[in-house]
Amino acid sequence: MSSPSLKVLVYSDDANVRRQVLLALGRRLHPDLPEMEYVEVATEPVVLQQMDAGGIDLVVLDGEAVPAGGMGIAKQLKDEIYQCPPVLVLVGRPQDAWLATWSRAEAVAPHPIDPLQLAEVALRLLRPLTSPTAG
* Structure confidence by residue, pLDDT tens digits, 38-96: 999 999 999 999 999 999 999 999 999 999 999 999 999 999 999 999 999 999 887 77
Q: Is the peptide bond before 67 cis (omega within 30 degrees of 0)?
A: yes
Q: 104-128 b/e with 16+ CB inside 10 Å = b?
A: ebbbbbbbebeeeebbebbeebbee
Kind and range of the H or E run holding 108: strand 107-110
Question: What mean pLDDT do residues 97-114 have?
Answer: 89
Give all strands of the β-sheet with 6-11 in edge-to-edge order: 36-41, 6-11, 58-62, 87-91, 107-110
Instruction: Please name each of the domains of the chain with its CATH number.
Output: 6-130 (3.40.50.2300)
The pTM is what?
Answer: 0.93
